[in-house]
Amino acid sequence: MTVLSSSLASKHMVVTGGATGIGEQTCALLQAQGARVTVLDIRAPANPATRHLGLDLGDPQAIDRVLAALDTPIDALLNVAGLPPRAGQAAQVLRVNFFGLRRLTLGLLPRLVPGAAIVNVSSRAGLQWREHIEEVKALMALPDEADLDAFCAARGIDDTRAYNLSKEAVTVWTKAQTEALIARQLRMNSISPGAIATGILDDFKAAFGARVGHMVARVTRPGHAREVAEIAVFLASPESGWLKGVDIPVDGGMGALDVIDTCGLTPDTTDQHH
């Protein structure tokens, strides 16, 4: 799939995490279609022609400095940056993946032009948000400066659960903003990738164990960063304008296999046309 949209020409797109992985591929696709891209990332992007503002999403003051520097109208915000599950990083994962995303997005709302899109990269790890909705709501109710170490300790949240919770919150928060954003002529959607062949795939294998390899084998390969980026670019374009508050799994069929397993379904392999 290649999303071609002349409607992106000269549009100003802001991409977090645009220096590597899915974010880097997203920037390349946007620029190929004539968009002007500003990358918000700790690292500088490889393309020297790309505007870059250094940003640590785990630092509220750094976010506020970027908000002060981004003074031009924005046609789309693509929140791609995030931390994987890693030992000893539970609070920081919550801080970056949800609280940083939320603070930046809310701060940029006044600069988004009417009709602008917001795209949040969530994860397959966040698909169980319905089962954990009370914990998700408790997290979302916290202020940006909350003591997340204490929150994790009180609830017994380990590193893997922190990652899952952060992505559950991204998915739920995306849906929760729908009506308010419609009133502002804005829209927000999320993407939930499965296993993607980027530099952090090993972190997910370590966190989630053999199930990652098993699911990858069943769908024949991990996804490519570009395959996720293409969906992100589509959601950022006017062509997806009637999609609001939805989460799109980009997982090569992993979600469907979960349904098959859970419901005990079997494929219909009968040849009806011989």
CA dist., res. 244 & res. 250, Å (int): 17
Structure tokens at 45: 């992007």
Cα–Cα distance list, 238 to 7, 76, 86, 208, 229 (Å): 7, 10, 37, 36, 16
DSSP state of 8: G
Phi/psi at 72 (5° precision): -105, 155
Amino acid at 161: R
> Is 63 a residue of the active site?
no
**Catalytic-role residue among 163, 173, 204, 234:** 163
For 10, half-sphere exposure in the C-beta direction (CA atoms, 13 angstrom radius) is 0
For residues 177 and 225, is the Cβ–Cβ distance under 8 A? Answer: no
Please compute Rg for the chain using Cα positions.
19
Please give the positions annotated as active site.
163
